Amino acid sequence: MRGESVVVVGAGQAGCQVAVSLREQGHRGPITLIGDEQAAPYQRPPLTKAYLAGETDLAGLVLRQDSFYEDSGIKLIRNERVIGVDRQARVAVLGCARTVSYDHLVFATGARPRPLPIPGAEHVLNLRTVADADAIKQRLDGQIGLDVVVIGGGFIGLEFAAVVRKLRHEVTVVEAQPQVMQRAVSAETAQHLVNRHRSEGVQILTGTGVAAVREGLVELTDGTVLVADLVVAGIGVVPNTEIAQRAGLTVDNGIVVDAHLGTVDPRIYAVGDCARFASTHAGGLIRLESVQNATDQGTTVASAILGSAEPYTALPWFWSDQYDVKLQTAGLTNGHDRTVLVGDPAEGRFSVFCFKNDRLIGIEAYNRPIDFLMGRRILESGNALTPEIVAQPGFDLRASQQQKAA
């Protein structure tokens, strides 16, 4: 297997990690990495933060220098789309009508912004690629005090709002759900994020959607009309599964894969934002959009191609930077039925421990990196923390683990 050819469809974080891990693990065969952007594989999270703020450029985002691919014998094809996969002939068909043969193929096609099904959606910008970020920067550069409306109060929407506010623009976030980041964090953590944004002058409207966007105006479903010089949406993504579906693979809100991230075709895998896999942490099929998931799955698939029988069991974790807040979460806290808050919210440093049926399923660390790091270890090891232990006065996660070790 170490001499067989591998084609990776998609050159984002997950796809790049597959190629890198294959070489690191000793694969000697041809590797072709195909991306539909002109840029070399790069990090997406900084687009809503450092890149948009002008604190870094594209060169600071690339995952590997161009010389790495040449030196490693990885053929990087840029600005080209794969339009089909012939499983019988074992070839990927490119938009230019060329074909690339494979012994193993990995779908790392990622996802695209979810479209807004409203009148005037053509006036709304998305923030997914470096080209999207450049288009937004062009609208903001040299301006002060623009009225910016952000549709969606998830990770991308709130991170974007924080940067734009620091650039001295007026910002309104519109979230259709009753709570920002409703599927990602607890109500306690969400409320503190809302309070932090409001302290910076950001207006956050929840429980209302967008009915229409017109030139310079955003009409909400509750009848409110907002002035808008710029409208940016962050309402989630849709996995890019069309090629896999046409190839006859199982698709259900993602390309469905097994414990080793393999599809129904033993020579084809899927990783990253486009893959839907069975997670012991979620208790069923799930699709995750995170750097951790992309890199860990990329490494797992490389091992699987080289003959490893180890399943993918990595603990999910996420992070978000907003103003002076570093929010880090370990585990999946959606679906919890009890929370215990530890720390001092008034000082902007606390953690929320999330339980389901008295079992710890996740930790949300708000400017408490030690809790995040130790929480990951506890969750990975099969924890014994109960709500009663955490709720004890003066509970300290680090001290409790030190005592346990002693």
DSSP state of 39: S
- State both tokens at 195: 């309070």
- With the C-alpha atoms ordered 266, 267, 272, 274, is the resulting torsion angle positive or negative? negative
List pLDDT tens digits, range 329-359.
999 998 999 999 999 999 999 999 999 999 9
pLDDT of residue 402: 59
What pTM value is reported for the model? Answer: 0.95
- With the C-alpha atoms ordered 257, 262, 264, 268, is the resulting torsion angle positive or negative? positive
Sequence letter at residue 263: T
Per-residue confidence band for 300, with pLDDT thresholds at 50, 70 and 90: very high
Q: Please state, in angstroms and rounded to a whole number, the distance separating the CA atoms of residues 160 and 46.
A: 10
* End-to-end Cα separation, the chain, in angstroms: 46
List pLDDT tens digits, range 124-161.
999 999 999 999 999 998 899 999 999 999 999 999 99
Q: What are phi and psi of 213, to 5 degrees?
A: -125, 125
List pLDDT tens digits, range 51-93.
999 999 999 999 999 999 999 999 999 999 999 999 999 999 9
Residue 64's CB: how many other CB atoms inside 10 A?
Answer: 17
CB of 216 closer than 8 Å to CB of 228: yes
Per-residue confidence band for 382, with pLDDT thresholds at 50, 70 and 90: confident
β-bridge mates for residue 342, sequence order = 351
Per-residue confidence band for 239, with pLDDT thresholds at 50, 70 and 90: very high
Q: Please state, in angstroms and rounded to a whole number, the distance separating the CA atoms of residues 328 and 369.
A: 7
Nearest to 271 by CA among 258, 284, 252: 258
Query: Residue 342 is inside which H or E element, if any?
Result: strand 338-344
pLDDT of residue 405: 52
Residue 120's CB: how many other CB atoms inside 10 A?
Answer: 17
DSSP letters of 72-106? HTEEEE-S--EEEEETTTTEEEETTS-EEE-SEEE
pLDDT at 256 over 80: yes
pLDDT at 173 over 80: yes
